[in-house]
Amino acid sequence: MRTLLTIWAAKLAALALRLTGRAGTHVPGRIARRLHPGIIGAVRHPARVVAVTGTNGKTTVSNLLAEALEAEGLRVASNRIGSNLAAGVAMTLIDALTWTGRSRADVAIIEMDERSARLILPGLKPDVLVCTNLTRDSIKRNAHPAYIAWLVSSAVAPSTHLVLNADDLIAASIGGDDNHRTFFAVDRQPGDGTTPSGAAVDVAICPVCDHPLSWDYWRFNHIGKAFCPNCGFRAPEAAYRAREVDAAAGQLTLDLAGDERRAHLINDNIVNVYNEIAVAAVLDQLAVPRDRIVAAFERIAPPTTRFASEQVGRTTIVRQLTKGLVGVACSRAFQYVAAFPGRKSVVLNIDEVSERTSNVENTAWTYDADYDYLASDEIEQIVVGGVRRYDQALRLAIAGVDPERIVTVVDEISAAEAVEVDGMAAVANLHSVHNAVITGTPVQNRLRDRLGGSAS
């Protein structure tokens, strides 16, 4: 009865919020957890539950999985528009129930904040848990990624099947002896090195003998295929691999446990290559036929608030999530933008305080990010907007960006007016998570207007 009353209270709260034009996800979930702290485990779950976590990529992977499974005709419960904390997960499960407590969904795809694992996993007990990666995040909130791996491991049920990134030794370590593990990876690509560099490298020594690690290939932070020349330790072998990534053709080869299939490349950013093979691995574990897995990538794509690229005349507008407070994620966005050929300009709006006036993290995280990529001679101008614009400008100058190329503006959206667009091969619109809609979208629209394009 307590569970049923909690379901009713949460549904009524959500209904009231929607009638007032609000989303109705987080607050009803908080009410539900206040009335019944164990509500995540008390309600009926769909027949299959997949949880997706990781420092970067969890939103993209969970969205892609939900879209692919809906195309298979399944009824999917997912927190794509809600919170990935405990309250949002609780409300996602409640939304999928009838008023009598029966589940209306065939499968749940639950995006889970990795820091909240101990509040979510004991009740959720997912059939499958996907971990995209565990890299350096906000030190104030998350500490070292190995600590997050311990948090997740301490909360995951022995019955949960783990789908893990073999190229990330921290993520690959999640779980206990009873957990079944499936690994995914991306094969060596042109440009991969064998010597770690950059501002942040979180794994440098062998977890067995403490000898310095060597690398068959290294990409960024601690992502790559590591081995120990002293004791023979190696990164786990992956059953699912992305091979032969051809950005020009927009294709890659998916090795699905030995069955190679050519597929559409959803995005050529290495982070999204990992996301694609992770999605393929989960769909295969869920017994989706492999020809339909390949077909799914023809119609699904990362959310436009994460990535979008559009051609207006001779200029490409690149919209890229650049996750403030997370140096590794920013580095990947900077590297991706810098790789576009030709003259470029950048709108940089990764200020994390636009909506808050207190409890703000300091800017130490910017020194975990490789701003050096933006010092490319082909990037002719960087316009920085927002409250932290001078901190960002200083960090850019320290990284080697010519101060003459740095422009600061008070308002984030007005950066779209200040940036040079004429004659540019690409203009980058870099924004964070919190301002994706309030800043990223209007900046994108204004850049399009200035280039004489129309909304697609």
Span 402-434, pLDDT tens digits: 999 999 999 999 999 999 999 999 999 999 988
**Chain mean pLDDT for the chain:** 93
Considering only the top CATH level, what class is 307-450?
alpha beta
Domain boundaries in the chain?
2-296, 307-450
Q: How far is CA 81 from CA 23, 196, 282, in A?
A: 8, 37, 21
Q: Does 131 show up as a binding residue in the annotation?
A: no
3 state DSSP class of 373: helix
Find out whether 209 is annotated in a ligand binding site.
yes
As a whole number of angstroms, the distance between CA 253 and CA 261 comes to 6
Q: Where are the beta strands (DSSP E) in 257-343?
A: 259-264, 307-312, 315-321
Checking if the pLDDT of 436 tops 80, the result is yes
> What tens digit of pLDDT does each residue of 210-268 get?
999 999 999 999 999 999 999 999 999 999 999 999 999 999 999 999 999 999 999 99
What is the DSSP code string of 104-158?
A: --SEEEEE--GGGHHHHHHHH--SEEEE-------HHHH--HHHHHHHHHHHS-T
Both structure tokens of 184: 């995914």
**Partner residues linked to 183 by β-bridges:** 164
Q: Residue 85 half-sphere exposure, CB side, CA atoms within 13 Å? A: 8
Whole-structure pTM value: 0.90
Residue 456 pLDDT exceeds 70: no
The CATH class for the domain spanning 2-296 reads alpha beta
Q: Are 119 and 151 in contact (CB under 8 A)?
A: no
Looking only at the bridges linking them, the beta strands covering 315-321 and 307-312 are antiparallel
In this structure, of 4-8, 25-29, 295-299, the range with the lowest mean pLDDT score is 25-29
Token digits for 288? 């989706």
- Per-residue pLDDT reduced to its tens digit, 340-397: 999 999 999 997 665 455 555 678 889 999 999 999 999 999 999 988 899 999 999 9
| Res 355: pLDDT | 47
3-state secondary structure of 263: strand
- Token pair listed for 313: 């005349």
Residues of the chain above pLDDT 90, percent: 83
**Per the structure block, which two tokens stand in for 419?**
């940036």
Could you read off the pLDDT of 52-109 as tens digits, one per residue?
999 999 999 999 999 999 999 999 999 986 689 999 999 999 999 999 999 999 999 9
More confident residue, 275 or 325: 275
**In the predicted model, what is the mean pLDDT of residues 10-29?**
85
Per-residue pLDDT at 24 exceeds 80? no
Phi and psi at residue 208, to the nearest 5°: -100, -50
Read off the pLDDT of each residue in 118-126 and give the average, rounded to a whole number.
98
